[in-house]
Amino acid sequence: WMCFCKQEFSRFPTKTGRRSLSRSISQSSTDSYSSAASYTDSSDDETSPRDKTQINSKGSSDFCVKNIKQNEFGRREIEIAEQDMSALISLRKRAQSEKPLAGAKIVGCTHITAQTAVLIETLVALGAQCRWTACNIYSTQNEVAAALSETGVAVFAWKGESEDDFWWCIDRCVNTEGWQPNMILDDGGDLTHWVYKKYPNVFKKIRGIVEESVTGVHRLYQLSKAGKLCVPAMNVNDSVTKQKFDNLYCCRESILDGLKRTTDVMFGGKQVVICGYGEVGKGCCAALKALGAIVYVTEIDPICALQACMDGFRVVKLNEVIRQVDIIITCTGNKNVVTRDQLDRMKNGSIVCNMGHSNTEIDVASLRTPELTWERVRSQVDHVIWPDGKRVILLAEGRLLNLSCSTVPTFVLSITATTQALALIELYNAPEGRYKQDVYLLPKKMDEYVASLHLTTFDAHLTELTDDQAKYLGLNKNGPFKPNYYRY
Amino acid sequence: WMCFCKQEFSRFPTKTGRRSLSRSISQSSTDSYSSAASYTDSSDDETSPRDKTQINSKGSSDFCVKNIKQNEFGRREIEIAEQDMSALISLRKRAQSEKPLAGAKIVGCTHITAQTAVLIETLVALGAQCRWTACNIYSTQNEVAAALSETGVAVFAWKGESEDDFWWCIDRCVNTEGWQPNMILDDGGDLTHWVYKKYPNVFKKIRGIVEESVTGVHRLYQLSKAGKLCVPAMNVNDSVTKQKFDNLYCCRESILDGLKRTTDVMFGGKQVVICGYGEVGKGCCAALKALGAIVYVTEIDPICALQACMDGFRVVKLNEVIRQVDIIITCTGNKNVVTRDQLDRMKNGSIVCNMGHSNTEIDVASLRTPELTWERVRSQVDHVIWPDGKRVILLAEGRLLNLSCSTVPTFVLSITATTQALALIELYNAPEGRYKQDVYLLPKKMDEYVASLHLTTFDAHLTELTDDQAKYLGLNKNGPFKPNYYRY
Amino acid sequence: WMCFCKQEFSRFPTKTGRRSLSRSISQSSTDSYSSAASYTDSSDDETSPRDKTQINSKGSSDFCVKNIKQNEFGRREIEIAEQDMSALISLRKRAQSEKPLAGAKIVGCTHITAQTAVLIETLVALGAQCRWTACNIYSTQNEVAAALSETGVAVFAWKGESEDDFWWCIDRCVNTEGWQPNMILDDGGDLTHWVYKKYPNVFKKIRGIVEESVTGVHRLYQLSKAGKLCVPAMNVNDSVTKQKFDNLYCCRESILDGLKRTTDVMFGGKQVVICGYGEVGKGCCAALKALGAIVYVTEIDPICALQACMDGFRVVKLNEVIRQVDIIITCTGNKNVVTRDQLDRMKNGSIVCNMGHSNTEIDVASLRTPELTWERVRSQVDHVIWPDGKRVILLAEGRLLNLSCSTVPTFVLSITATTQALALIELYNAPEGRYKQDVYLLPKKMDEYVASLHLTTFDAHLTELTDDQAKYLGLNKNGPFKPNYYRY
Amino acid sequence: WMCFCKQEFSRFPTKTGRRSLSRSISQSSTDSYSSAASYTDSSDDETSPRDKTQINSKGSSDFCVKNIKQNEFGRREIEIAEQDMSALISLRKRAQSEKPLAGAKIVGCTHITAQTAVLIETLVALGAQCRWTACNIYSTQNEVAAALSETGVAVFAWKGESEDDFWWCIDRCVNTEGWQPNMILDDGGDLTHWVYKKYPNVFKKIRGIVEESVTGVHRLYQLSKAGKLCVPAMNVNDSVTKQKFDNLYCCRESILDGLKRTTDVMFGGKQVVICGYGEVGKGCCAALKALGAIVYVTEIDPICALQACMDGFRVVKLNEVIRQVDIIITCTGNKNVVTRDQLDRMKNGSIVCNMGHSNTEIDVASLRTPELTWERVRSQVDHVIWPDGKRVILLAEGRLLNLSCSTVPTFVLSITATTQALALIELYNAPEGRYKQDVYLLPKKMDEYVASLHLTTFDAHLTELTDDQAKYLGLNKNGPFKPNYYRY
């Protein structure tokens, strides 16, 4: 088995790199669950789960969680999540007549939350066996992990893992007697990385990888480009439905939520500049304009700039408005979009935050100089104070506001989870030859199917083409309805 | 002194009544400050402030607060609040040339917060002497009370007063050797009530009462109607500026905030019914429509109903949509707008909450029956569970969502505080005979002045009439610009 | 009969004044019907109607219209109008059981259009006798006048009257053998003026005047102030429902329509300044913002300015943006809001127009100087060309854009007509003493009734108060629902 | 020269087919210019231009237009159009230093209007020689054709050509002594068709075809698929900028304009169903919602349906709302979207119109039955009357409302014209081998350039990447900025 390549992975995170990655992800996950209910007190028990012997009510001990006894609390959380994930529930109904994942042995590495649990239990209902671990050392909901373990899913995860724990858990998922995975569901690429590195032979049985994150997808494309990808992989990150929800629709709501929870700012009449008019920027602009803010846009791309004009926003350079705006929001994916020089010129009391990616957009490092005083006034809120007394309010230290200071609705997670489930079914059942050793986007028809499963939430009723109309349009009555390049 | 009337006050709150009033107010105040920073730990000191001897750095002990030593923390809170209350700061600048409140002895009873402190210190800067107490037993920010006391304002208030403490504090404000108030600033009417009851002679010196709350204003109108009001009173609650901000503009933002903080619900595509299309309803409708919800309106008044139609909302009876909506929001000021019968027919997972007044709009009492299970899932969030498993999500137990689950922006409080300051100046300086023993609305010109002081926040520039234009319109160049009946 | 007063009327229009008034009104009426269908060719007949002998199919000749034979065409127009005036149709149904206008002899002076015909025939159905004349020398739809005359209403009006004709027609309405009016319905005050001047004794029998126009209402208030008003008068112009529709809702649509029909301008991305943020300005701002324009507001009133801020508009002085805006729209009711100096600084290709009142807002006179060239490019559209080639596009020569260049929907006219009908019923049936010799606003309950009659158009369903709720609110179940000062 | 293929063209329009094509295009063009100024009276001259001898002031007679003497009127129209087409004017400035079209011999077939003239004169300024003819027998502005001919462009076109004239004009453009085209600019494919059919050898010199219309592009793809395309062709119809403007932004405005001009309907409170939520449907929905209509959407594609939900529209089947809606607008590109059965169930007074494509969406043919009466009430407006008196208002007989009843802003035409000019420059200057015998989309970088040239209209200022940022993003500082699959 030759496609594994050390050099390839030499660019993979070192220990330090890994730590920083894990930290940047986990920060957001932790925050995003900060408002979730916490029913059980784990603080009384400092024993590492690795040192405990636990057994579920069925007599199995093939799992490792914080406290198996918390499973009832977790079950309730899962039940509540199920109410907003009807798409997966309707997939389960399929299981009554057919088991499209019968024989599938899925090893998964994702955030372990009530919503993921609904996904995992759907996979099981469709016929799969699952072993699961966490993609983030902070984000595991211990009660949910217990509930899954209680019903027989082999979960290895708890909140507050060390880095050593992290890789130990992954290893326990993959490396088990008499069970070899034939599908991988990954979020971030760490599980895939581990298998490549430690158990390359496992890939001989693997029918496909489903990857959810930008980072993981990027790694897969690099592998593919280098000719090192040895199984088909499905990029679910770039499906239309997921993209629109993760970016446009979700940010439209989370920008308001994030700003309110941290600063209680009134939006009406505020002057705001949004840097970047991509999907995220469009969502932020729409929401703030709708609530009475006066919004300016900066752009590098003239097409997006023209869209901003037609949507009613003045397109400016940041320096033109820096002295007058009350709020700056970065949504570019770029770095140093707001520089120290610009921060120096902001008004007293103005707010600066980031909705783009990672933490590079605002040059936060430049603010960590002796003449400026930092004052932490709330969680995620710092006042940076200039020598003349001017305060600039920095949110989440320049990290992603929507992940740090607001929550992701279950409905959005449902779209992602359903896309993952369908991608697994597609790869598992695809006839030989349909998918090669490459990275694929979800077929449009399946993207449409994900969307259709979510229409019931809105009591929306699709119109069906008549035979005559389908013929006139040259379409199959069941879709796909659009060419691949369609822009939506 | 004859206008005091026992019967009149027999309708005033009894001890029990008072408690319930205090509770309904204090609940909101407490909640509304739940997200504010708390820098000092008061929990270690269980001694009642009444039993302590404290002295400020100037040697005075004419105050009673939790801990005078916390004054520096309070000072910082006040300074932060000052940044968003530039209207009051610009009023202070007047004090450099004239002291419109020189000689004024003001006794005040309001929430004691950083924002109120900015008001009080403005009154002092304008020449007034102030003694202050809290209108609510829970809402006092102890650090702020300490900061005020340190600078010489006689404050009698702390968080967590008993009812006995509450009246003791009021009494200490009014009843002091060698100082008799000549102005009253009240919020709720308790201070006014106490003076009427205990020190009716004080009214001989009082030039006027400024009252802020709906309840207090109502009491004053009753006194006036009964011929028992013995000084002029200014109703600042119904000024245009305050009304629009407290209702339309503030609710437009707080409905989103309240729903998100409690339920993380996604607004896009949700079906929502808003009961009542007054200012509060209009604000809620505008916000939810703007974020992609499908909004229905119920109304009893055909004029408001026609407005709803023209604004793009279907006007329905609640029963027409009860089975399909995801969220019900009451904004009527009425009672039993949502009945048990209707709650029985709501969808699984639907949300019901109140933005109207008090806690009468949803018939919450009807839900406290044995067959229904209540589950508290977060602060302010209850799942009410029907025997068939259906859950309805009830927020704040039917109390005001905006007070319980969101915060009021400082800017809105600034408008109220500025209105109060101007009302005090007007009453204190009015020539004899301008105001009789009656309840007055703020003169339109002063309402306009309050608005103009707040325009700087938005860097808004007013146009001035030329002499010629003023003559053409028959207006004074400095206003008032509209007739009293103008609807805005 | 002494209340008639020559001096009072010395301020009334002289012949010249009248002409200019008539012209300013008629211009708009003519334009507003420019797009209406014209089925009959009147151009072939140049004989004055006053010189013709005509007789309707019932043998009557008590009317004077262009051509009685056109009545069938007019009937069709009336029938089409009836479809959008269901409020009046439902009023007619009342006539089956009661005739609230039985015995009423109404003399009317309004625009004579299909919509007015629906009103007149409703009054007849309710028991009234009617004689009618035109309030404008250009606006009469001849076919409609014929259709009314055919059914027995004594109409004296045609399109293109001379001024002498105008007064002759009024006189023929009032001064007829064996018939004396007991109600007046006026639009502009000319009929009322004529009766005051020529037949003051008629007022002895008059139970009331219903007046619709700003000008006419202004005259009535002047009479009242001077103690010269000798009968009750109802000001229907200022009813809530009519105001909101005539201003906010109607302008929201007509600003777009007027600009498009004249200039085909694209709204998206255009920079627009709206002078004045009253109801008209609010409507214009909302529409243009909604279609992607960037809107600035100028205001003299700080309260309206603050509303503009909260609604998301920058409040500026005109001079701040004059060089950058693409469109200026005046909505102030003031004069010289846009001066020659400012017009000099506008961009090439920019548009200036007026939605306010009369033609004073833009200083059009200042543009009629030799160095500027005027070029009429379309009806209502002039290019004013500066020596350097710069063109400014002036619409409707600064007169009202909405009247000159767009149409008024029948629905809006229905609201006015229904209000007029109810005002007549109220005045005619009011017990003695309810109304004195003064000008009254429509009772709120009737305003609410007008609104309720128009809800069916929108299939809107009102909620009714329960007995318990009505008691709780202290309201009658049938209204009125709001205090008089309610701002809506 | 072998790639020409008779069979291929057997599917091309026969005479009858051509006529119907020409009619469907010309109808719209004629209407779309109905509101343009007409300064000269052509009705007095019935001589065919083909029978006239005309000569321009330079002594040339190589053109054929209605009346060369009208050239001054046409010049003025062109000058006015130039004001809104600054993108082309700035392209001309390039001509001062370089002539990218030097040596180009362009034969063009487009609508001949003031806007096209600005394009043609820009091509000339860039170095090209041009011969031009009309793509539509009705749409030529005679004065503009005269103005172009006067300056030396060989134009063969007039308003009201016969079909024989149409092909004669095309032939005169292509078939001229001593001049052979090396570039084709086509709109509809008729010119290309003629060259293929009559002068296949011409293609030996042709460097490329630029095609603008859906129909023409479709033909080109068919040729390409069949291996019959013998030169590179550029599909400018599907460039991002053009698509967004022609569909989303332009329809957002034209739906309102088209409905108002034809019916004067009030939008507020109206219930509207939009069939299809593609770009056109999205534009219509946004506009109508913004003006207070209540909008329902029908869709066949679940992804678009989900977008409609999130944007706040109820997604229904047409039959669910057919009895309650006031307006139906089709935007699907499909046929029989509104059937006779559904038209039978519409409300009295409801409006039905088409914004989609061609005239197939509403089954208009089904309404031409004896029991229904058609009444033409205005140009483009028919009342279809059922036996019970119910009227349905049909606009433009089901043809495209935006082309028939509203106008296209010059700004939108400028985007198309600039795209055409850049496509010509690109194909003419491309190094051999860059483009093969295939159909190409405009390179993204040029699409971005078109957009950037139009930003000045909005005074929009682009941000430039720093070297450091460009490196971080892996982008060239001058673009292209997005991957080809980017959805905007």
pLDDT in tens, B237-289: 989 998 888 899 999 999 999 999 999 999 999 999 999 999 999 999 999 99
Nearest CA in chain D to C80: D349
Of residues A265, A291, A324, nearest to B252 (C-beta): A291
Q: What is the ipTM of this complex?
A: 0.88
**Complete DSSP assignment for D328-340:** EEE-SS-S-SB-H
Strand order in the sheet with D208-211: D154-156, D129-134, D105-110, D183-186, D208-211, D233-235, D439-441
Calculate the CA C342 to chain-centre distance. Answer: 31
The alpha-carbon gap from B265 to the nearest alpha carbon of chain D, in Å, equals 13
Taking Cα atoms as reference points, which of C452, C442, C441 lies closest to residue C478?
C452
Site from C296, C314, C315 to mutate, A interface, most A CB atoms within 10 angstroms: C314
Tokens of C313: 């508009």
Chain A residue numbers with beta carbons less than 8 Å from the beta carbon of C292 are: 310-312
d(CA D390, CA D393): 10
Binding site of D for NAD(+), by residue number, is: 278-283, 299, 402
Asked if residue D411 lies in contact with residue D84, where contact means CB atoms within 8 angstroms, the answer is yes
pLDDT of residue A378: 86
Q: Which residues does chain B have within 8 Å of residue A409's beta carbon, measured at their own beta carbons?
A: 264-266
Q: Which residue has the tokens 């606009």?
A: D395
Per-residue pLDDT tens digits of chain C, which is 488 residues long: 233 222 333 223 333 333 333 322 323 223 333 333 344 444 557 889 999 999 999 999 999 999 999 999 999 999 989 988 999 999 999 878 899 999 999 999 999 999 999 999 999 999 999 999 999 998 899 999 999 999 999 999 999 999 999 999 999 999 999 999 999 999 999 999 999 999 999 999 999 999 999 889 999 999 999 999 999 999 999 899 988 888 999 999 999 999 999 999 999 999 999 999 999 999 999 999 999 999 999 999 999 999 999 999 999 999 999 999 999 999 999 999 999 999 999 999 999 999 997 789 999 999 999 999 999 988 899 999 999 999 999 999 999 998 888 888 889 899 999 999 999 999 999 999 999 999 999 999 999 999 999 999 999 999 999 999 999 999 999 999 998 878 88
Cβ distance of C303 and B241 shorter than 8 Å: yes
Give the closest residue to C448 by CA, choosing from C424, C483, C472, C409: C483
Spatial distance between the Cα atoms of A232 and C388, rounded to a whole number of angstroms: 68
pTM assigned to the model:
0.90
Query: What one-letter code names the amino acid at D201?
Result: N
Work out whether the CA dihedral D473, D474, D479, D480 comes out positive or negative. negative
Helices (H) and strands (E) in chain C, counts: 19, 15
Task: Count CB atoms within 10 A of the CB of residue D164.
Answer: 9
D-facing residues of A in 301-360 (CB < 8 A) are 301-310, 314-318, 320, 333-336, 360
Binding site of B for substrate, by residue number, is: 113, 187, 212, 242, 246
Asked whether the beta carbons of residue C268 and residue A311 sit closer than 8 angstroms, the reply is yes
User: Are D418 and D454 a contacting pair, CB within 8 Å?
Assistant: yes
Binding-site residues of B: 113, 187, 212, 242, 246, 278-283, 299, 402
The answer, for C460 touching chain B at a CB cutoff of 8 Å, is: yes
Dihedral pair phi/psi, residue A181, rounded to 5°:
-70, 150
Residues of A in contact with B85 (CB under 8 A): none
D482 contacts A333? CB cut-off 8 A: no
Who among B269, B292, B314 is closest to D294 (CB)? B314
CA distance A291 to chain B (A): 7
Interface contact flag, D266 C409, Cβ < 8 Å:
yes
Taking the CA of residue A356 and the nearest CA in chain D, the distance in Å comes to 13
- Among B268, B291, B312, select the one facing D293 at the smallest CB separation: B312
List the C154-156 sheet strands across, edge first.
Answer: C154-156, C129-134, C105-110, C183-186, C208-211, C233-235, C439-441
Q: Phi and psi dihedrals of A33, rounded to 5?
A: -105, 10
**Residue with tokens 């699409």, as numbered in its chain:** D447
- Å between C260 CA and nearest CA of chain D: 7
> Do C458 and D290 lie within an 8 Å CB cutoff?
no
Strand extents, DSSP E, D158-202: 183-186
* Nearest-10 Cα torsion for C330, C331, C337, C340: 20
Q: Is the dihedral of CA B97, B100, B103, B104 positive or negative?
A: negative
- CA A146/CA C70 separation, integer angstroms: 87
Residue B251 confidence (pLDDT) = 95
Q: Mean pLDDT throughout B427-441?
A: 95
CB A75 within 8 A of CB B304: no
Q: Radius of gyration of chain B from Cα atoms? A: 24
Contacts of C46 (CB under 8 A, 6+ apart): none
Q: Shortest CB distance from B266 goes to which of A37, A378, A411?
A: A411
Task: Tell how far CA D427 is from the center of its chain.
Answer: 21
Q: Provide mean pLDDT across the span B41-50.
A: 73
Query: Chains contacting B with at least 3 CB pairs below 8 Å?
Result: A, C, D
**Neighbours of A (≥3 Cβ pairs closer than 8 A)?**
B, C, D
d(CA C328, CA C350): 8
Looking at the complex, does the CB of residue C455 fall below 8 Å from at least one CB of chain D?
no
Contact D211, D222 (CB under 8 A): no
Strand partners, D330: D275, D354
Which residue is closest to D411 within chain A, CA to CA?
A310
pLDDT truncated to tens, each residue of chain A (488 aa)? 233 222 333 222 323 333 233 322 323 223 333 333 344 444 557 789 999 999 999 999 999 999 999 999 999 999 989 988 999 999 999 878 899 999 999 999 999 999 999 999 999 999 999 999 999 998 899 999 999 999 999 999 999 999 999 999 999 999 999 999 999 999 999 999 999 999 999 999 999 999 999 889 999 999 999 999 999 999 999 899 988 888 999 999 999 999 999 999 999 999 999 999 999 999 999 999 999 999 999 999 999 999 999 999 999 999 999 999 999 999 999 999 999 999 999 999 999 999 997 789 999 999 999 999 999 988 899 999 999 999 999 999 999 998 888 888 888 899 999 999 999 999 999 999 999 999 999 999 999 999 999 999 999 999 999 999 999 999 999 999 998 878 88
Can you tell me the distance from the alpha carbon of B94 to that of B110, in angstroms, rounded to the nearest whole number? 24
pLDDT in tens, B335-361: 999 999 999 999 999 999 999 977 899
Q: Which residues of B touch C473 (CB under 8 A)?
A: 333-334
DSSP strands (E only) in B221-324: 233-235, 271-275, 294-298, 314-315
Interface residue A476 vs chain B (CB under 8 A): no
CB spacing of C84 vs D349 below 8 angstroms: yes
User: Which of B267, B294, B311, B313 should be substituted to probe chain D, the one whose Cβ sees the most D Cβ atoms within 10 Å?
Assistant: B294
Do D434 and D387 form a contact (C-beta atoms < 8 A)?
no
Of residues B331, B303, B286, B338, the one with CA closest to residue B317: B338
Mean pLDDT of B154-166: 95
Contacts of B201 (CB under 8 A, 6+ apart): B1
pLDDT < 50 regions, chain D? 1-42
Contacts of A285 in chain C (CB under 8 A): none
Task: Name the minimum distance, in Å, from the CA of A456 to any CA of chain D.
Answer: 10
CA triple C209-C215-C216, angle to 5 deg: 10
> Rounded to whole angstroms, what are the CA distances from A246 to A186, A239, A242, A416?
18, 11, 6, 9
- Asked if D83 lies within 8 A of C409 by C-beta distance, the reply is no
> What single DSSP character describes residue B3?
-
As to burial, measured by CB atoms within 10 angstroms (0-12 exposed, 13-18 middle, 19+ buried), residue A52 is middle
Pair type for strands B381-385 and B391-395: antiparallel
8 Å CB contact between B429 and B55: no
Q: What's the CA gap between C9 and C1, in Å, rounded?
A: 16
Q: Give the pLDDT confidence score for residue A43 in this predicted structure.
A: 53
Q: Which residues of A touch B411 (CB under 8 A)?
A: 266
Reference B324, options A88, C464, A457; nearest CA is A457
- Cβ of D294 and B312 within 8 Å? yes
Q: Which residues of C are annotated as a binding site?
A: 113, 187, 212, 242, 246, 278-283, 299, 402
**Are C378 and D459 an interchain contact pair (Cβ–Cβ within 8 Å)?**
no
Looking up tokens 């999205």, which residue turns up? D282
D295 — phi, psi (to 5°)?
A: -115, 130
Strand partners, A272: A295, A327
Chain C neighbors (3+ CB pairs < 8 Å) = A, B, D
Q: What amino acid is encoded at D302 in this protein?
A: P
Question: Which residues does chain C have within 8 Å of residue B334's beta carbon, measured at their own beta carbons?
Answer: 465, 469, 472-473
Average pLDDT value for residue range B414-435: 96
Pick out the residues of the known binding site of C for substrate: 113, 187, 212, 242, 246
* pLDDT of the residue at B485: 77
Give the model confidence (pLDDT) of D196-248 as tens digits: 999 999 999 999 999 999 889 999 999 999 999 999 999 999 899 988 888 99
B264 touches chain A (CB under 8 A): yes
State whether residue D2 sits within 8 Å of chain A by CB.
Answer: no
CA atoms B438, B439, B441, B445: torsion sign? positive
Beta strands (DSSP E) in A15-63 are none
Which residue ranges of D are tagged as binding site for substrate? 113, 187, 212, 242, 246
Are residues C454 and B306, on separate chains, in Cβ contact within 8 Å?
yes
User: D307, D305, D327: which is closest to D316 by C-alpha?
Assistant: D305
Please check whether residue D457 touches C, CB under 8 A: yes
Banded model confidence at residue B324, pLDDT cuts 50, 70, 90 = very high
- Separation CA D45–CA A160 (nearest Å): 91
Using an 8 Å CB-CB cutoff, list chain C residues near A291: 312
